[in-house]
Amino acid sequence: MPIFSIDRRTFLSGLAAAGALALFGVPASAMSQAEARTLIGSVMNDVHEIINSGRAEAQMLRDFEVLFSRYGDIPVIARSVLGPPARSASPAQLNAFTEAFRGYMARKYGRQFRRFIGARAEVTGARQVQSHWEVMSTMTMRGEAPFDVRWHVSDRSGRHQFFNLIIEGVNLLAAERQEIGTMLERRGGSIDRLIQDLQSAG
């Protein structure tokens, strides 16, 4: 059992949008420390605005999907989540999986966010790690002690975006990659069946 509650994990892993990722052979990030910190500050501010907006659930889910697209490197994350099968998938399949995965994550985790109304988040630092920046932050839920959250961000796709999230030492993208892998295995390895089911799941 993780040392943090499942609610924390569910909430924050939704921001990351899933799957372990290694940026092999990518040049050092051109982002500055200030830019990396600003990116994550903007993510957390926008999440706070959405969950405290009082909007209907359907609108909030649409807002979260827009947020994932704006701040998350969704094509890279989706390919990483899919894992080795991504290498044999056709371009059309990869595009369809990326779109299905984006909506799936918005629905799956967006519905969890209402319980975190009033939560506080703060960026506390950033350091460069090989080809990307690791931005440190703390999250404080109501009635709980602050806990450590680390965001991995890069500009490898031409924009400043996040691609991974670590909570108290636990790699949530790796956990999500395992979950998608299990879903694919249950469908006999069929990417098309996985895409179809992701379009209505979450």
* 48 occurs within a structural domain: yes
Cα 35 to Cα 42, 161, 196, distances in angstroms: 10, 10, 38
The CATH number linked to 25 is 3.10.450.710
Per-residue pLDDT, averaged over 81-92, amounts to 95
Q: What is the spatial distance between Cα 25 and Cα 48, in angstroms, rounded to a whole number? A: 35
Q: Is 130 helix (H, G, I), strand (E, B) or coil?
A: coil
Residue 28 has pLDDT above 50, yes or no: no
Q: For the chain, how many structural domains are there in total?
A: 1
Average the pLDDT over each of 17-21, 88-92, 95-99, 113-117 and give the range with the smallest value.
Answer: 17-21
Contact between residue 133 and residue 31 where contact means Cβ atoms under 8 Å apart: yes
* 1 occurs within a structural domain: no
What is the extent of the structural domain holding 133?
A: 6-198
Per-residue pLDDT, averaged over 84-113, amounts to 90
Q: Which residues of 32-46 are buried (b: 16+ CB within 10 A; e: fewer)?
A: eeeebbbbbeebbeb
0.85 surpassed by pTM:
no
